[in-house]
Structure 1
Amino acid sequence: MSQDIGYIRVSTVEQNTARQLEGIALDKVYTDKCSGKDRNRPQLQIMLEHLRTGDTVHVHDISRMARNVGDLLELVESFKAKGVALKFYKENMTFTPDTNDAMQDLMLTMLGGIYQFERSMMLERQREGIAIAKKEGKYKGRPQSVDRSRIAELLRDGMSIRKIAGQLKISPSTVQAAKKEIASRHS
């Protein structure tokens, strides 16, 4: 029995998924709350494993499925090879196993390229903004989640890196990085 399956992706945990695929009757929905920069997304992988011939995957728009052309084209081809249809609502495009439409394939490639370009531009603007903010002394990076003074205190007491990591419930590499940072401040 074929199923209508929804795939929803947002970039962050805080983002709302409600507007995607609203009002569409679906048998199952897979939702990822992570970047679409690559195919390494838990729910996407689970969905790919569970797809069966005759299923239809519903996606709000192309950028929700993939943010780079290579991954997008590979995913569409893998759906078709499995006998699965894929429907993008925003672009009003449907890909089925039994049809090959050169114009639709061209549009998919072009739109995928636009989304990839859009992501690259966003990241470039972000890097530029951070560089300017750093230069102006306004960007300090992410707040420290580890108490450097506590690590320094435990190191002075002669505790090993592994024991400090265990006591503070952090990784040994975090303790080593903090140790290096502390040493550089005192030299």
Structure 2
Amino acid sequence: MSGQNVGYIRVSTVDQTSERQLYGISLDTIFEDKISGSTTDRPGLNQLLSHVRSGDVVHVHDISRLARNTGHLLELVERLLGSGVAITFHKEQLTFSADKANPINQLMLTMLGAIYQFERSLILERQREGIALAKMRGVYKGRKRSIDTHQVKVLRESGMSYRKIAQELSISLSSVQRALKV
């Protein structure tokens, strides 16, 4: 019996769409994350790693969807191969399986992983530079506050406990405590 074709899809934010990834590929199961690739603890990826068995093939749109760090990428690929699971990166047209070692593919994986990691570093550097310039011009205000500190203080003054305030506003207890310190 041959294994399953399992898809892994990742987008960085909830607003992004994953429709283009693995479009038209016949898959038995799909695992998806809407979280940064720099995060190694991803629910969908963790579920995929628990789900796959020897003989399965994991399909990923491109290398950067699986990992943004070369070390993590190589670790994930080795883990899958060690379990007898093959992995295919469709955009790069690279396939890895435990029974077919291919030094050229391994080199390409390492090089492309490093390029994606470098690209991400450049994006973050440009973002930091842009924010610094915006701050110098006085146009960068930072992230909007997500908690109305005035509302927290009013609820506390009315005698409501910290825990009740957190529950009422759907925020954490530590957020209530921080808002009351301001």
| TM-score, normalisation: structure 1 | 0.88
RMSD over aligned Cα atoms? 1.8
Within a 5 Å distance, the mapping from 1:101-116 to structure 2 comes to 101-116=102-117
Tell me, which stretches of 5 or more residues in structure 1 are unaligned?
182-187
Confirm or deny: 8 A CA contact 1:59 1:65 kept in the other structure. yes
Shift in CA distance, 163/46, structure 1 to aligned 2, threshold 3 Å: closer
Instruction: Quote the Cα distance in structure 2 between the aligned partners of 1:170 and 1:55.
Output: 41
> 2: CA distance between counterparts of 1:16 and 1:6?
16
Following superposition, the deviation at residue 103 of structure 1 comes to 1.8
Partner residue, 1:74: 75
- Mapped to 2, the partners of 1:164 and 1:28 lie a distance apart of 41
Deviation at 1:157, TM superposition (A): 5.7
Residue in 1 that maps onto 2:131: 130
Would the alpha carbon gap of residues 169 and 6 (structure 1) be closer, same or farther in structure 2, given more than 3 Å must change?
closer
Which stretch has the larger CA shift, 132-141 or 37-46?
A: 132-141
Cα distance in 1 for residues equivalent to 2:141 and 2:26: 46
Larger radius of gyration: 1
Consecutive unaligned residues in structure 2, runs of 5 or more = none
1:184 alignment counterpart = none
**Partner SS state of residue 87, structure 1:** strand
Quote the Cα distance in structure 2 between the aligned partners of 1:166 and 1:29. 34
1:38 corresponds to = 39
Q: Which residue of the partner structure matches residue 117 of structure 1?
A: 118
Q: Percent identity?
A: 58
Q: 3-state SS of the aligned residue for 1:115? A: helix
Query: Per the alignment, do residues 137 and 59 of structure 1 end up closer, same or farther by CA in structure 2, a change over 3 Å counting?
Result: same
CA distance in 2, matches of 1:180, 1:32: 35
Q: Give 3-state SS (helix, strand or coil) of 1:90's partner.
A: coil
Letter paired with 2:141: K
User: 1:134 & 1:99 partners in 2: Cα distance?
Assistant: 53
Q: What is the CA–CA distance in structure 1 between the aligned matches of 2:170 and 2:139, rounded to whole Å?
A: 31
- Give the SS at the match of 1:177: helix
SS in 1 for 2:9: strand
Deviation, 1:134, is 2.0
TM-score by length of 2: 0.90
- How far residue 12 of structure 1 moved from its aligned partner, in angstroms, is 0.8
Alignment of 1:1-187 (within 5 A): 1=1, 2-155=3-156, 161-181=162-182
Deviations 1:50-90 (A, max 9, x none): 11111111111000111001111011111111111111111
| One-letter amino acid of the structure 1 residue matched with residue 65 of structure 2 | R
Q: Distance in 1 between matches of 2:153 and 2:12?
A: 36
The one-letter code sitting in structure 2 at the alignment partner of 1:130 is: I
CA distance in 2, matches of 1:169, 1:34: 21
